[in-house]
Structure 1
C-alpha cells in the first residue's frame, strides 16, 4: 500500500513507485511546492496541490470527544468493532505499515499500547515484541474484554486507564503506541505530553489517528462526531511536548487510491523520539474534562445520539470509496 512521509512538515516524498496522492486534496498548511521524485523511475512529477481546511478550535470537543460519551459509544461498538469498523478503516496491512516507523526491532522492548481497545493494533505489536513485555491500557472495559479473548495477547498486561493521566512511572517504556485513540482525547496535547513522560531516553512515540477532511460534507460530519486533527497539528503537538525527529507517515485503505478529501479515521502515523529523561518541558494547566463531575442526562443523551448519527456517515464512506474503486478504471483519479 502506498504511503508518504513528512519529516517535521519540511520534507515530503513518495515511498512507493506509484503516485497515490496526485489529484487528492490534502489538509496540509505549508508543504513546500517542489517536484516529487518517483523512487522507481527518475521522472519528476507535478507537485501535489495542497488544500487548506477550514479552521476549527481543537479545544472545543465534538459530540463524542468526551470520555464519558466515548465510554458508552464503545460499550456498544465493541460488539462489532473488529468485524465491522476495522475492515473499512483499519486493515491489517495498514496496521503493519503504520507500525513500521515505531521501530519495533527487538523482542525485549517494553511497549505500552495506549487506547489499545480490542487489541487489534496490539496483535501487530506482538509480531515483533514478546507479549509479556506489552501493556495495553484503555478506558473501556468492554473493549479490553475483547482483547483478553485474543490468544496471542494472553501474556500482555491489560489495564483500565486514562491516556491523559497514565498510571506509570516516568521513563518506563521503550515504545509508546496509540492507534485510534487521540480522536477521543479532550486535550490531545496533554496526551502527547504523557507519551513523552512515560518513555525512556531515546524511546519512540507512535500515534496513529485520523486526518481532517477537506470535502465540505465530510468536514461537517467530522466536526460533529469527534476530533479529526490536521497533519500539522500532530507535528506541533509532538514538538511542543519536547519530541525530536518528528515524522508523519500517511496511510489509508488501498481502495481509496490515495484520496484523502473525505478524511480518514486512520490516516497517519506520527513518530517522535524522546531526547532527554524526565517529564516533558511543556507546562499545562488543569485537565479540560473532569469525568467525576455529574452531567445533565438529557444533554448527554442528545450529544451521544448526534455523535452516533455523524459516525454513521463514516461507516458509509469506505463503502462508497470501494464502489468507486470497482467502477473507475485503474490509473484514473476517483
Structure 2
C-alpha cells in the first residue's frame, strides 16, 4: 500500500466524515460544520474538532482534525488508528477499506463502536497490542540491521521482534508514515510485558531510518527492562539494546538486561537471587551517574557491583571499530576471575548466529 493509496483512502473517508465520526468518535456530537469530542481516542469532551465539510484535500479539507489541548492534528486514518488502538498501518488501512465498503451512515445516529475497545495511546496495553502484531526477529530486516552493527549472536533474543510497517510521525509532520522497526518487549521480573521499545530501520536494513527520532519507548518502563537470558545469581545491566547485545558477543552465556536509558537504569528492580551485578557503562556523564547510583543501590541490597567500561563511547562502538577479539580481551580483565571461564566466549565459534 503506497502513500498515494493511503491519501486516497483518507480523502474518501473525508467524504463521509460525519459517518466516520459517528462510528469511531461516538462519544462526541456535531457542532455546526464540526464534530466535537474529547480527543482522538474517543474520550468524551470538547477539546478536539473534526471538519465535516470542505475540499477533498489541502487546507480546510473535510476529515482534518486538531486538538489544541494536546497540540495534535491529523486525518481520519489517525482517528481509526487511535480510537481502535490499532498497532500497524496495514490494520488501519484494512479497517478503512472495510468502513468505506459499508452503506452511507450519515443519517444513522449512534452507530455501534467497532469490535475492539481502544487502548490508551502510549499505555502498556497499547504496547502489548503492538508486540502481538510483530513477527520473529530472526531472518528479518531487523536481524540484517543488527548484523550490520556486528551483532551476529541472536540466541536468547526472544524479547526482540520485527514489524515491517510501524507508525512514525515526527515533530511538526502532518502525515503518519511507516518504517520497518525492531520491537523490543519490556518486561517485569515475572515476565509480564509492561512496554515496548521501537527502533525504526531504513528500508534496506543497512542503518536506522532517516527520521528525527529513531528510537521511542511506550508503556511502563520504570524498574523494568528488555531481557536476554534467564537471570540467576549473576547479571549484566546496561542502557541501550545494541550496547548490551554487543557485550553479549563476548559474554554469550551471561544474562543481560537493557533498561533503555540512564535514568531507567538507576531505577532497575533487582531479581531476588542476584548476587553479582555487572554494570554496563556508557562512556559519558549520564553513564557515570547511572553507574554511581546503581553501585550504591546494589551495595545497600548486599549485591556485589562491578563496572564494565568500554574502550570507546559504548560497547557497540568497541565491537564495530575494534572487533570481537579486542572486545573479548578488553572485557576479560574486568570480570571476576570465576566468571571468565563461565561466561567469556573463548573463540569466534561461540558467537555464531543462533
User: How would you bin the TM-score normalised by the shorter chain?
Assistant: under 0.3
If asked which structure has higher relative contact order (CA below 8 Å, sep 6+), I would say 1
- Given the two structures, how large is their TM-score scaled by the length of structure 2? 0.21
- Given the two structures, how large is their TM-score scaled by the length of structure 1? 0.21
